[in-house]
Structure 1
């Protein structure tokens, strides 16, 4: 402005400021040389974004000290001054943790019932941790599974110590609900099972995937299968350690037009990895045989025993038997659809599938018998069976309860009726009238507002109602509940691929009391997979370079990784 006046309006005399210096306008380049104030909104946004990057992408806390990352930020925003690692650890990430915890606590406070899954793991620094994950169905009938905490265990893994951790979590997160105990899904270890009982939590659901793993391991451990698995492992290990053999195998795969897949080595403690090893070997058996008989490989083969035709036939039969069990494990790993309702139907299906067949070889019959013998005694507690059958009845995919006889089915639905009456022992007469018939509610809602009454109807309607007053009399509360349960039982089942929670969302007004019960029971998990998934996340956080990470920061980083939602 001053330059303009001096050039075009010389008659105007400019006055100097108090210091005697003429003010000058700040240029754009010079403005970028001034650092952002740490308390400014822009600086706060960038700092929080860096915190999100660390939490969501599993970046080390030391990333703020890395030259490449600092250069990237300086190019994007030259005025921003990078905070130190301590500031991120002490201020930024704890602030994000508190915000997410408040959001999760708000969601938990509206849940009808909260179920838990829990499991333990050991870090690279040989520190023991226990992870607790919660599960509930929100008001939109969607499954929510926030991770609550990952805490170190410094004492012995006794049921008493584990019970204290569970109790503390229930109090801290306000998980308890009137008329309900907290269901917990765990592995089959006796200490954690006893810990749930000591904490007053029930029922304790044994992880079905873990149960299936134990039973199948028994089957794969029979003598002949043990020998077959040992031979396959030696062959796979040979191709894994010999670069020459691996190259020849790759060539043979191309010549035989087989998929270019590497052989799989199993993990002895996980049956599904043994299944995948056998399945891959069968797929590549022609290429494997061709590679082993190749002159360039044969001279290096020592003490490598190939499989006989009879052993290959046995392998193929075993893979055929185990394939459905692998699909069951995959289906139970779903995080969005209810799984607890699948336990009893799948349990019965597996037992039927393990019955001997005329075409079975002696080895296959022995394998089936071992699996059946290990699985049959499990889930035998009557109260647990009743709970699992009730959850199955509340799932519109399986409510036909086809694995039970007619009398037991009726008893299960009678139990659901009794449970509703126990939770709601008395209803006001007005409520009874309103809820006496779900069909009446739907019909009246569709009909719109009532027609205007004539003068005669208003005067004598109560006296000359043609029996309408009698028909509309409030029904006894037990009858209302029984009719609701009966109507639900007669409704058609839905397709297995459909989402039962979506069905309940659309039909909750038709079966209001059953819907409330379903929202509580169907949140329970059939497996502890949700907590086990934390192990892989923890492995990415507690790496070899960060094996000394403070347990408090381990908990915070896992919590943010699993629960923080980036809003674009």
Structure 2
């Protein structure tokens, strides 16, 4: 497969992978320049050869013919006409100039992770999560683990700090153990949380729920660009409905990501055209 045949590259947001697509584009453009120069040399040496249409009427239209027609001086000489002709020349020459077509599509799941991590970093919820993590660590000790087992309750789940979905799972499970904690926090203060902290934990889980649902949906094997946009749009709508500070922060990051990395990508827009032709997607929009 030639480099010019690569239409799109799907990768995460790592700078080295994004740079790969840019390098391929640059190399393809250099090849196009070399081929154009070679074609110019061939056309000069074969200037006496005429290519006729099947009916024998006129010659076939080439890039050189277009340039000659555009840059001839046989037009009315005034400032307005000159400006219009120059603008037309730029538009046409830009359209017929060989261009590389390889584009880079960012991984939708990875982009979503970055948006959520940005929200978690900027929203004022760090102290709430820290206190919740302390309680979870206590609930995972042999003492409480065996106690939970006797009560036929689920074990507490600890998060991995670099993975926000594990944070969601930790807080969600802690809420399931809320009744146990409140029942025993009088004699076991190490599992005690204030009411405002429980409310903050519930608020964080509610805010992360649209992103959690979107993450699972974006992991489908047959996902296309239209599906991605629909899932992303529903997540933004869910965050808007939630209205908390964390939800608003994640929503702003998602809207910025969509605008800067997807809606300016011609390959993504082409996929969106197909998306809008599917009846189920039209209903969603």
TM-score by length of 2: 0.63
Cα distance between partner residues in 2 of 1:356 and 1:383: 23
- Displacement after TM superposition at 1:292 (Å): 4.3
Instruction: Give 1 or 2: higher helix fraction.
Output: 2
Residues 397 and 316 of structure 1: CA distance in aligned 2, closer, same or farther (over 3 Å): farther
Q: Give 1:401 shift.
A: 7.9
Match of 2:105 among 201, 205, 217: 205
Q: Among 219, 224, 234, which residue is 1:349 paired with?
A: 234
1:400 aligns with 2:225: no
CA contact (8 A) 2:115 2:254 kept: yes
User: Does the 8 Å CA contact 1:188/1:210 hold for their aligned counterparts?
Assistant: yes
For the pair 1:270 / 2:163, whether they are aligned, the reply is yes
In the other structure, the counterpart of 2:257 is 378
The answer for the alignment partner of 1:27 in structure 2 is none
Deviations 1:244-298 (A, max 9, x none): 12222333x34xxxxx31111111111111111111111111123334445xxx3
Residue 339 (structure 1) shift: 3.2
Distance in 1 of aligned mates of 2:270 and 2:161: 36
For residues 176-220 of structure 1, what are the alpha-carbon distances to aligned partners after superposition, in whole Å with 9 as ceiling and x for unaligned? Answer: 587x53322211122221122212373211111111111112222
Structure 1 pair 196–397 and aligned structure 2 pair: CA distance change class (3 A): farther
Give the SS at the match of 1:378.
helix
Tell me if structure 2 keeps the 8 A contact 1:220–1:367.
yes
Q: CA deviation digits over 1:507-563, x for unaligned, max 9? A: xxxxxxxxxxxxxxxxxxxxxxxxxxxxxxxxxxxxxxxxxxxxxxxxxxxxxxxxx
| Residue 195 (1) aligns with residue 15 (2) | no
Find the aligned partners of 1:305 and 1:239 in 2 and give their Cα distance.
7
1:155-181 per-position Cα deviation (integer Å, ceiling 9, x unaligned): xxxxxxxxxxxxxxxxxxx3x587x53
Mapping for residues 424-503 of structure 1, pairs under 5 Å? none
Q: State the Cα RMSD in Å.
A: 2.8
Distance 2:201 2:279 in 1: 34
**SS of the residue 1:204 aligns to:** strand
The match for 1:368 among 237, 243, 247 is: 247
Alpha-carbon separation, structure 2, partners of 1:227 and 1:263: 19
* Displacement of 1:234: 0.9
**Structure 1: distance between partners of 2:156 and 2:113:** 22
Matched, 1:183 2:63: no
Question: Which of residues 268, 271, 280 in structure 2 aligns to 1:391?
Answer: 271
Partner Cα distance (1:385, 1:401) in 2: 24
Cα distance, 1:399 vs structure 2: 4.8
Cα offset, 1:347, TM superposition: 2.9
Contact 1:215 1:371 in 2 (8 A): yes
**What's the secondary structure of 1:377's corresponding residue?**
helix
* Contact 1:393–1:399 under 8 Å retained in 2: no
TM-score by length of 1: 0.33
Q: Distance in 2 between matches of 1:187 and 1:382?
A: 13
| Structure 1 Cα separation of the partners of residues 106 and 261 of structure 2 | 12
CA drift at 1:397: 5.7
What is the CA distance between 1:351 and its match in structure 2?
A: 2.9
CA distance in 2, matches of 1:246, 1:292: 16
Compute the displacement of 1:356 (Å): 6.5
* Contact 1:340/1:388, CA 8 A, preserved across alignment: yes
Structure-2 change in CA distance of 1:383 and 1:312 (3 Å): closer
Alignment correspondent of 1:230: 130
Aligned length: 207
Structure 2 unmatched ranges of 5 or more: 26-100
Please point out which of 306, 309, 320 is paired with 2:206. 320
1-side partners of 2:159 and 2:104: how far apart? 30
Structure 1 183/262 Cα, relative in aligned 2: closer, same or farther at 3 Å? same
In the alignment, which residue of structure 1 is the partner of 2:154? 261
Name the residue aligned to 1:283: 176
Equivalent residues of 1:196, 1:202 under 8 A apart: yes
Aligned equivalents of 1:370 and 1:334: distance in 2? 26
1:338 deviates by: 2.6
Q: 1:402 to 1:331 in 2, by over 3 A?
A: closer
Deviation at 1:222, TM superposition (A): 4.0
